[in-house]
Amino acid sequence: MASSYSTIGRIELMATTEKIDIWGPIVNSNLQLLEAMIAGAETIATTSGTVVLTTNNGAADQARKAFVICTGALIGNLILEIPNLSKHYLIYNRTTNAFSVTVKTNSGSAITVPQGSAAIVACDANDVVSFFAPPVIPATGALANAIAFSNFPTGTQGDVLYHNGTLWAKLGAGASGQALITAGTGANPAWGNPSAVSTKNALINGAMMVSQRRGTSSVSGDDIYLTDRWIGLTEDPVLTGWAQELSDVPAGSYAALGAASTFTPSKIGVCQIIEQRNCAHLVGGDVVLSFKAKVTDDARFATMKAAILSWDGAADTVTSDIVSAWNGAGTTPTFAANWTLENAPADLNVTESWASYSVTANIDTPSTKNIAVFIWSDDHEISATFGVTDVQLEAGTSPTAFERVGIQSEIDRCQRYYVPVTPIGEGGYASAGGQTGRMTTGIQFPATMRATPTIAFSSQVYGNGSGLNATSATDRGFFANATASAAGSCYWTANYTADAEL
């Protein structure tokens, strides 16, 4: 009977009565092969590719060795392929350059041995290769986990580590008060102004929850504010109606903004213009606009489109009526001077059920100061209604889940631009008519406003006084004054609004 060989070690197994007088050299050879399995070392010197460890029955090979050392200046990733047999190895990755060394069987998944580290790996004979002991740095014994991978950068207090797609890198400490801005998969982080990154959504009131001017009442008009921060634009301001909708909304949403052309076909849309300080971090990069929308009758809506526009005029001094000419049915409008389309609008095929839609753009217009989003229909029939909500503009090329903001926080953000009808009043005593300063009170806005607002009074009531006016107005508040008309007690009450919209 001829000799056979063991499965794992490929050691020669002599049959009974075989190899008489020549068995000694075979035993010696087997002992040397066993020695290699226990303590033998194999050096793999290469620059990239897949190296399959050799296997030989009863003779020296690479796969039998206990210790495998990988060396070389890599120009690509290196795959070390071991037999699908029950065995463990000590793998030492002594390669250089920013590429990986992985260990696997022919059909199994790979594990990575970090550069500069040694690790015990084991195969279970079922195409599974696992760490039998974690990778360590041989010179120090320190663990070499993923963070220690590949020429791990030295640093100082305040530095931040990130992966640049190839290896771990260092972002030097930012200035005091800065925040870390991430741009999603495929981009490196950077330090930025926290006022621009407090939320990933650059839009305010994207969920349409705040409607300080209108409540749920319907309103008609063109270039008018609807739910807070959202402007209604239409070809026919008389026959277009807008309203906050609280009943027909997507699951998980509180409100939507509805638009309807009631008697004649009319091109209609909603727009939000973003303050420069809230969109500066988006300029020069990729952005994605996402939202939920539906129409009441998709047979009546031939188109629904969405656009991202940039403004290259004076910062925050924008043309709010962004449409210069609506053009023909199904044709993208002509936009006002200094507004530039950053994407190519196309019909989104909005249906009669709430669904999510998105468009992308790169804000590459030189000297961009402000960004606007515009969602509209330029071809529909009469008595057609569309709704939109959960609108989000963020950095990147793929939309993420809509970021919900608490109602009080959303109101505070809206009141940076508009303070609704608010009652105020003051009383005093005058020794004679015509005296000022006897009925003066300081009014603080509920939130710091974008700029010094336009203040308007209504429903004034006087007792022995007249001439209510606002003085010393700033973005934080103003003085409200009235003049006494006669000697004696005097007072006034009124409502005020403050408008600092773009």
Q: Where are the alpha helices (DSSP H) in 266-385?
A: 276-279
**What backbone phi and psi angles, to 5 degrees, belong to 224?**
-125, 150
What pLDDT shows up at residue 137? Answer: 85
Q: By the 8 A CB rule, do 195 and 279 touch?
A: no
CA 170 to chain centre: 22
Domain shared by 453 and 430, yes or no? yes
Report the distance separating Cα 190 and Cα 175, nearest Å: 12
What pLDDT shows up at residue 149? Answer: 44
Phi-psi map region of 150: left, alpha, beta (phi>0 left; psi -120 to 50 alpha):
left
Q: Tell whether pTM > 0.75.
A: no
Report the distance separating Cα 399 and Cα 384, nearest Å: 28
Task: Collect all residues with Cβ–Cβ distance below 8 Å to 320 and sequence separation of at least 6.
Answer: 223, 231, 271, 273, 501, 502
Task: Collect all residues with Cβ–Cβ distance below 8 Å to 69 and sequence separation of at least 6.
Answer: 41, 42, 43, 44, 92, 94
Domain shared by 67 and 54, yes or no? yes
Classify residue 455: in a domain, yes or no: yes
Q: Which domain holds residue 382?
A: 219-414
Q: Which two tokens stand for residue 90?
A: 């000590």
CATH number of the domain that residue 252 is part of:
2.60.120.260
The secondary structure of residue 143, as a DSSP letter, is B
**What backbone phi and psi angles, to 5 degrees, belong to 35?**
-60, -40
Report the distance separating Cα 272 and Cα 205, nearest Å: 10
CA 244 to chain centre: 27
Q: By the 8 A CB rule, do 286 and 362 touch?
A: yes
What pLDDT shows up at residue 150? Answer: 45
**What backbone phi and psi angles, to 5 degrees, belong to 240?**
-110, 130
Domain shared by 21 and 115, yes or no? yes
HSE of 44 in the Cβ direction (CA atoms, 13 Å)? 29
Report the distance separating Cα 29 and Cα 455, nearest Å: 99
* 385-417 residues labelled b (16+ CB within 10 A) or e (exposed): bbbbbbbbbbbbbebeebeebeeeebbebbbbb
Classify residue 188: in a domain, yes or no: no
Domain shared by 433 and 405, yes or no? no
Determine the 3-state secondary structure of 121 from DSSP: strand
Where is the domain boundary, 347, 381, 414? 414
Phi-psi map region of 109: left, alpha, beta (phi>0 left; psi -120 to 50 alpha):
beta
Where is the domain boundary, 147, 176, 192? 147
Classify residue 211: in a domain, yes or no: no
Classify residue 184: in a domain, yes or no: no
Domain shared by 392 and 459, yes or no? no
Domain shared by 118 and 20, yes or no? yes
Where is the domain boundary, 147, 173, 202? 147
Domain shared by 404 and 422, yes or no? no
What pLDDT shows up at residue 151? Answer: 52
Query: Which residue numbers in the chain have pLDDT < 50?
Result: 146-150, 195-197
Domain shared by 382 and 400, yes or no? yes
CATH number of the domain that residue 479 is part of:
2.60.40
Number of domains in the chain: 3
What pLDDT shows up at residue 183? Answer: 67
Domain shared by 256 and 238, yes or no? yes
What pLDDT shows up at residue 178? Answer: 73
Report the distance separating Cα 456 and Cα 258, nearest Å: 28
Domain shared by 286 and 385, yes or no? yes
Determine the 3-state secondary structure of 383 from DSSP: coil
Q: By the 8 A CB rule, do 69 and 43 touch?
A: yes
Domain shared by 310 and 443, yes or no? no
Domain shared by 439 and 306, yes or no? no
